Amino acid sequence: PSTFDGMFPSKSNQTGIWNQSSTWSCGRIPSILDDVTISKEHTVSIPTNTATSYSSLQIEGSLVFSTASILKN
C-alpha cells in the first residue's frame, strides 16, 4: 500500500508563466498540495488577476508578480 502525505514536488522546468503546465516538472499547474521550487536561472511570472496556491515555496531563481496577482500559502 502507498502512503499519502499531502505534498507533491513541483519544480520549474523552464522560465515561464505560473499557470502553464509546461513550466512545471509535474506537468500541471501547482496546487495547495505542492512543494514548489523555482529553479536557479528560471523566472516564473504570476499573470495579472491570477490567484495561485502552494504548500511550500523555495525560490532559487526569480518570481515576478503582475498587477493584482495573489500567491497564497
Each residue's pLDDT tens digit, 48-69: 888 888 899 999 999 998 888 8
pTM of the predicted model over 0.85: no
How far apart, in whole angstroms, are the C-alpha atoms of residue 64 and residue 73?
16
Label residue 23 by pLDDT band (50, 70, 90): very high
Answer yes or no: are the C-beta atoms of 44 and 61 closer than 8 Å: yes
Confidence check: pLDDT of 13 > 90:
yes
Mean pLDDT score of the chain: 87
**Cβ neighbours of residue 9 under 8 Å, at least 6 residues apart?**
25, 26, 34, 35, 37
